[in-house]
Structure 1
């Protein structure tokens, strides 16, 4: 009997001991939670544990590798400087309005798309746009892919129909394919019906070949009238971007008196080669990038700001 009583006493002692231990653990846990696991003397929290630190190191390593690849690509393509990376697209898009002096009669009253040469932004970015589609240089696609330079294309069907696949590869790289009419006519000489055929017809081509109707339209030569903008609106166009500068393989042309680039400027070039220029499209891109990079500008994607 004494053995049984002793065992009962032992069990009773361990039950009381366990309760005390559990209570102490609970008190300590509550204190830690209440203090945010801070130390009593307000010392800094312990350093990051291994998994988050490894993740940060991995991210930093990826950034370094990306930059090294860009530096190497810039050297490979003969650039004077490594192109600057653009900032993230704005969460709130800027309000786009028609540039003063570029309006037509009753522009706003008719709900016509805005005509503009610059996107209102304080960021040091410019937008590269390339027109027509005559030259289809594979080296240009490789260069823009290697350098990760965004741009926007405005296409005319009578030129791109020779090789729709070339521009499909361009689109696969994130390039927006937009409307530059079917046949590149001087639109103000045409009636409203004829202009609508040129614009809506190109909308149909882009949708059929590339899966999406454009929202951007650039009139050939930058010339338009009220009928042009009415036809564009009726074909689903929302914006009519023109340009503030034009770049060639051997020079820049400027719209502004100061002959300089500005934040948000739209830059025009063309799909041209040695038949039209004293050089090829990669030569034009070098002229373009060397200037904008030297002036501290990055190249952003126009559609990201609209």
Structure 2
């Protein structure tokens, strides 16, 4: 019998029909080790408790929701209707958009220019594990590139917002290209990478803007659907509401220009989105 079993086993190994165990002698089914499940649950609970403690420390009303994993298949990003320029598709120009097409209840936090460099803001966002994208202008960041390197070390993507923050449609193509490509060179030198995402200052652009951006290696030109300030929100849509995939804008500002700090601004933002059931996701994960 042992010889027969050995021959049968050899046939299965080398391409013969599979050998099925005799009735009643099937191997037992094994559940995943309880220790692995316990370890995973422990990590989840520890992460939640840390976030809850951070939420209390920073004065939030609720614990921010955790974003779902990035989509395996990225959504198709096209220019928002009415925001196209002439020959948009024929020239394959970077699309201008205000919302990411998704059904998930996520929004995307973007912060512009870099004028205020509040260390408490960095601690807050790190403690809470909130993703965001920074759009930098050199005139505002050149006095402290190290601040934004610390931000980058926390996983924040640093994007292009021109050298001097001008009204781009008022410039020639060559001048616009200098503003955008010049910032690409500085970002590569200071932060190790030239971005593929660019936001035109004030959200203003024309065909020359997008053609210049493309020539500098830019693939996307997101603007925003809502803007949050330390004391109020502003909306692009008439319903004055958040929507899945909305891009939210704020600025690096402090008490010199606002009646509050960036921490106050983030507290207003996070309290609102969490109360409405939204998580904050990372913009670049959807591009």
Provide the residue aligned with 1:305 in structure 2: 286
Q: Structure 1 segments of 4 or more deviating over 2 A?
A: 22-27, 37-40, 44-49
Whether 2:238 is the aligned partner of 1:224: answer no
Change (3 A) 1:38 1:273: farther
Provide the residue aligned with 2:13 in structure 1: none
Residue 299 of structure 1 and its aligned partner are, at CA, apart by 0.4
Provide the residue aligned with 1:196 in structure 2: 177
Counterparts of 2:147 and 2:20 in 1: how far apart (Å)? 63
Provide the residue aligned with 1:156 in structure 2: 137
Counterparts of 2:30 and 2:89 in 1: how far apart (Å)? 59
Residue 34 of structure 1 and its aligned partner are, at CA, apart by 2.4
Q: Secondary structure at the match of 1:177?
A: strand
| 1:192-218 deviation per Cα after TM superposition (whole angstroms, max 9, x unaligned) | 111110000000000000011110110
Provide the residue aligned with 2:150 in structure 1: 169
Residue 62 of structure 1 and its aligned partner are, at CA, apart by 1.1
Q: Please, which of 25, 34, 42 is the counterpart of residue 20 of structure 2? A: 34
Q: Secondary structure at the match of 1:34?
A: coil
Provide the residue aligned with 2:261 in structure 1: 280
Provide the residue aligned with 1:91 in structure 2: 72
Provide the residue aligned with 1:6 in structure 2: none
Counterparts of 2:73 and 2:24 in 1: how far apart (Å)? 43
Q: Please, which of 113, 130, 134 is the counterpart of residue 111 of structure 2? A: 130
Counterparts of 2:23 and 2:258 in 1: how far apart (Å)? 69
Counterparts of 1:47 and 1:91 in 2: how far apart (Å)? 30
Provide the residue aligned with 1:120 in structure 2: 101
In structure 2, runs of 5+ residues without a counterpart are 11-18
Whether 2:251 is the aligned partner of 1:265: answer no
In structure 1, runs of 5+ residues without a counterpart are 1-19
CA RMSD of aligned residues (A): 2.1
| 1:81-130 deviation per Cα after TM superposition (whole angstroms, max 9, x unaligned) | 10111111001000000011111111111221100000000111000000
> Are the equivalent residues in 2 in contact too, given 1:149–1:299 (CA < 8 A)?
yes
Q: TM-score, normalised by structure 1?
A: 0.86
Q: TM-score, normalised by structure 2?
A: 0.92
Change (3 A) 1:77 1:236: same
Whether 2:91 is the aligned partner of 1:105: answer no
Q: Please, which of 41, 44, 47 is the counterpart of residue 66 of structure 1? A: 47
Provide the residue aligned with 1:142 in structure 2: 123
> Are the equivalent residues in 2 in contact too, given 1:38–1:45 (CA < 8 A)?
no
Q: Secondary structure at the match of 2:250?
A: strand
Counterparts of 1:148 and 1:107 in 2: how far apart (Å)? 37
| Structure with the higher helix share, 1 or 2 | 1
Residue 23 of structure 1 and its aligned partner are, at CA, apart by 6.7
